[in-house]
Chains A and B, each alone.
Chain A
């Protein structure tokens, strides 16, 4: 769908504009950054964070039935388990790079969640560490076996970490993907996610690197892409009914028949009398006057009620190249920019299979929006990214698995109208449409 460009870019569907004018200065999204920073300085986690970690911890512990997370949640606002004083004493130390670990789980547990804070000359930073011992690919970092989120944070050119904690959605997603990467079957985190969504929300194939719309290897990504394309392809042929097949004229070959000069287009053999199988003498001629061996055409008609030669329709077929099919390549095969939304919509069609994806998305949103408690965490990309800060790139996780195909949701007016041209420019590798489909 093409946006209307006059006078400002308009969405052709909802007639809304892409640029949001902020009338109330108090809503300036840049202010959220300040609030965010203030919270970090204060040392207080957002209220929901405690509950989140407590819940995560309790799940990770698995065997020991943990206290319900709500207990921690309620206490977090009044009596914080980690008082700012205690934290300062450890984190405002002399050596800026020393970090104070805050373990949420016992070290004997299979999994640890640590929150590190450290001072740098230019400001404080805090790093979340979610991890467990058996992490293969990230052994080079300072954290030893556990992949540290700090490894994923952007760094200044001199190698020091950036001043502010800048946990963006895609970054967190990459981190989580690293945690759950291939070859780590049976690790606690996988079990956690698998267990949480096991019987209820998990789509089949979750074990093969796929949770809902989120994929963890190339194979699963391909699977999703082909699924999208199949879903969009509502052009499956309609088989001929038994009744129609019964009524087709049959003819037995005999000497002098004009059919003997013709070929069966399915087996490419000429009709002939000197065959061993008497069934080969039974010829079906379709209403379009194309003759076939009965044995050749019947399997096809049970597949598609059309003539193989001229596509004459014995039963009405779905419009394949109907008007509007020009739109189909763009719609179905999705430019890079729309891949995520396409896959999620197809997921919605499947009904409730998005449990795994939903969790990750919520996780990502949780981190990306932690400074904005009270604003809706479930906002989709379109709503939450409008005119807001750069940290909100959350819903691109599924495409971030594909590396170069990653994209960022348009955060303003610029992105959407250019989407199609963008695809041509950067030659991304998500299947795009053929300019024209060939028969």
Chain B
């Protein structure tokens, strides 16, 4: 089994065994190329009460290479291509990080940021009008 699949399987097992941190849910992990998780921003922030869906895409270099992470809008998982511009997904990526830890980071970014610049006009409009992502 490829290194990336083995690693992702381990992460998946950990999620199923130990659960995810508060506000983070695994929505879809049918294979080892694309996962979708939802992130709910906790605390009193501009995104209070909203739930965002994050799509993770992995290549077979994962975890050496960072996953491509972006917000997705509706349950068709379709959204404009707007990769998130967090440094940990670029030059600051480390294989120690995981899907869950990236979610926690983005959760914390959303909580600490007045307006998330990752959410460009299109995405944000869609997210805000739809009031985020309605998960199962």
Contact = CB atoms under 8 A, between A and B. Distances in A.
Interface stretch (A66-74, A95-103, A263-271): A263-271
Contact of A267 (B10, B92, B115, B120): B10
In the complex, which range does the number of interface residues on chain A fall in?
35 or more
B121 interface: yes
A431 B115 contact: no
A16 to B, nearest CB: 31
Nearest to B6: A267
A419 B3 CA distance: 48
Given A229-B85, A308-B95, A267 B3 contact: yes
A435 B114 contact: yes
Contact of A438 (B81, B90, B95, B112): B112
A306 to B, nearest CB: 8
Contacts of A432: 115, 117
Given A266-B63, A267-B7, A435 B112 contact: yes
Contact of A320 (B64, B80, B91, B122): B91
Contacts of A208: none
A233 interface: yes
Interface string B35-73: 000000000000000000000000001011100000000
Given A235-B91, A300-B64, A308-B94, A438 B108 contact: yes
4 closest pairs, A vs B, by CB? A429-B121, A431-B117, A266-B95, A308-B94
Interface of A: 218-219, 222, 226, 229, 233, 235-237, 265-269, 295-296, 299-300, 303, 306, 308-309, 311, 320, 333, 403-405, 424, 427, 429-439
Interface of B: 3, 6-7, 10-11, 14, 61, 63-65, 80-83, 85-88, 90-92, 94-96, 98, 105, 108-109, 112-115, 117-118, 120-122, 124
Given A222-B82, A222-B120, A434-B113, 17 more contacts: A235-B91, A265-B95, A266-B63, A266-B96, A267-B3, A267-B63, A295-B3, A299-B61, A308-B94, A311-B94, A333-B85, A424-B114, A427-B115, A429-B120, A438-B88, A439-B87, A439-B88
